[in-house]
Amino acid sequence: MSTLIETMTGAIDALLPGLEAIYKDLHQHPELSMQEVRTAQIVADYVEPLGYEVSRNVGVTGVVAVLRNGVGPTVMLRADMDALPMAEATGLPYASTVSAKDEDGVEVGVAHSCGHDMHVTWLMGIARLMAEHRHAWHGTLMAVFQPGEEVARGARSMMDDGMARRFPKPDVILGQHVMVGAAGTVGCRSGTILSAGDSLKVKLFGRGSHGSQPQTSIDPVIMAASTTLRLQTIVSREISPRDSAVLTVGALQAGTKENIIPDDATLKLNVRTFDEDVRDYMLGAIRRICCAECAASNAPRDPEFTTLSSYPLTVNDAATHERLLAAFEAHFGERVYETQPAAASEDFSVFGREWDVPYAFWFVGGTDPEVFRHAVAAKRVNEIPSNHSPKFAPVIDPTLRTGLEAMLCAAGAWLAPHDAAA
C-alpha cells in the first residue's frame, strides 16, 4: 500500500460526501465542449484557497493548478470537463435537463454521458487531499482541468495557449477514464490503450435536376451511396486481418424533396485505428475511393474534404506503466487487471506528445458490480449502457472512491515512492 493511501484513508472517508454533492451538481449542470465556463469556475474557486497557483481560461476555459511542495518530480494529473450534445435518459434524480446551443446555433440537450463529471470530481478531490497532506509527499503537482475533449480541441488549445512556456514541464503525465466495468476495479496496460480517431466530412458535387429527367443530372445521391458501400471494402479487402480498423459512415445527407435530384451530397465518416501506418493507409484510401467514385459518376469537380476531429493514438510508456502497475497491485490486489485496447479515442496524449514526456492512461470501472457480474455470466456485457449512451450512469459508490485511490496511487508512485520518507 502506497504511503499516500495509508496517510489519507481517513481523509478520503471524510471527503466523499462533499465530493458526491459536487459530482451530482456537475452532472445536473453539464456544459458543451469549449463552453465549460461554470465548471471551470467551480474548479478554480475550489482549488485556489488550497494554496495552488491557479491559471484560468487556459485554452479558452481550461484551468491549470500548480502546487509546489519542495524538491522532487513534477507530476501532471488531467481531467476533462465537457459534456455531450445529447439528452439524458437515466431517470436519475440528479439527471440533466439542460439544453444549450451548439456551435452551429442548434438547440441540443446536454448530458455528461461520458463521465467527465466524475473525472473532474476525482481531480478536485485529489487536489484537496494533496494540499492537506503535504507532509506525505514532495515535488510539484500540476492539476489540469481540460476543455473540449469531445471535439478533440481542448488539449491542443491549451498547448497552443503556451502551456509549455507558462507551466513546469512534467516528468510524467497521468490520466484516467470511467468506463463500463465492475466498479472498484482498475484496468491498465502497456502500449496502445486507445485507438486513433479521425472524423471527416466529404462533400460530393453533382448536377441537380427534376426527378423525371435523370438524364440531365449527375446524381450525387447515387454517387454518395456507391461511395458509402465502396468505403466498407477498405477494411474488409485492403487491411490485413492481423490489423484492426473501423470505418463508419454515420451520416449521408442530400436533397430536400423526393422529385428533386440535388446538386450535392455530404458524407460524415469516422475511422478508428490502432497503428499509425494503418491510419495513414485508411485516410489515403478514403480519399482515393471518394475521388474515384466521383470520377466514375462524371462529377463536375473533385470532392471536398474537411477534417471534423482528429485524435492521436494513446500509447502508454512501458516503464511508466510498470511503475504504475506496481502501485496499483500493491493497493488494489486482484482488483487491477490488464485491459484490452479500446476502440475509443482521447486527446489526452497530445500533452505527452507535445512536451515529449512519458504518459499513462487507465480505466476505472463504473458499473454496479452485481450488474456487471450477471452480465458477464449471461454474455450480455454489450447490453450495459456504455459511454455516450443516454442511459450511461456510473454508480457513485464505489466508483468515486476507487478513482480517488487510483489517482493517489499513481501520483504517489512518483511524488511519494515506497522508499521515500513519510
Q: Where are the chain's structural domains?
A: 3-194+313-415, 196-310
Q: Which of 31, 150, 219, 317 is catalytic?
A: 150
Q: Which of 324, 327, 398 is nearest to 6 (CA)?
A: 327
Q: What is the pLDDT of residues 270-291, one digit of tens each?
A: 999 999 999 999 999 999 999 9
The answer on pLDDT for 418 being more than 70 is no
Q: What are the CA-CA distances from residue 16 to residues 10, 13, 84, 372, 401 (Å)?
A: 10, 6, 26, 24, 7
Residues above pLDDT 90, as percent of the chain: 96
Q: What is the mean pLDDT of the chain?
A: 96
Q: Which of 277, 285, 276 is nearest to 314 (CA)?
A: 276
pLDDT of 7: 85
pLDDT of 6: 81
Q: What is the pLDDT of residues 32-56, one digit of tens each?
A: 999 999 999 999 999 999 999 999 9
Q: Which whole number is the average pLDDT over 93-108?
A: 95
The answer on pLDDT for 421 being more than 50 is no
Domain 196-310, CATH number (from 2.102.10.10, 3.40.718.10, 3.30.70.360, 3.10.350.10): 3.30.70.360
20 classed as catalytic: no
**Interior CA angle at 74 toward 60 and 334, to 5°?**
100
Annotated binding-site residues for Mn(2+) read 114, 116, 150, 177
161 classed as catalytic: no
The answer on pLDDT for 403 being more than 90 is yes
The answer on pLDDT for 3 being more than 80 is no
Q: Which of 268, 254, 251 is nearest to 208 (CA)?
A: 254
The answer on pLDDT for 71 being more than 70 is yes
**Interior CA angle at 352 toward 366 and 406, to 5°?**
30
Q: Which of 31, 36, 80, 293 is catalytic?
A: 80
Q: Which whole number is the average pLDDT over 78-85?
A: 98
Q: Which of 307, 305, 308, 325 is nearest to 316 (CA)?
A: 325
Q: What is the pLDDT of residues 155-198, one digit of tens each?
A: 999 999 999 999 999 999 999 999 999 999 999 999 999 999 99
Contacts of 11 (CB under 8 A, 6+ apart): 129, 132, 133
Alpha carbons 352 and 314: distance in angstroms, whole number: 10
Q: What are the CA-CA distances from residue 17 to residues 196, 316, 404 (Å)?
A: 37, 33, 13
Q: What are the CA-CA distances from residue 278 to residues 232, 270, 291, 342 (Å)?
A: 15, 14, 20, 16
Q: What is the pLDDT of residues 194-231, one digit of tens each?
A: 999 999 999 999 999 999 999 999 999 999 999 999 99
DSSP element (H, E) containing 136: none
Which CATH architecture does the domain made up of 3-194+313-415 adopt? 3-Layer(aba) Sandwich (3.40)
Band of pLDDT at residue 361, cut at 50, 70 and 90: very high
DSSP element (H, E) containing 144: strand 139-146
The answer on pLDDT for 422 being more than 80 is no
DSSP element (H, E) containing 56: strand 53-58
Band of pLDDT at residue 2, cut at 50, 70 and 90: very low
pLDDT of 300: 98
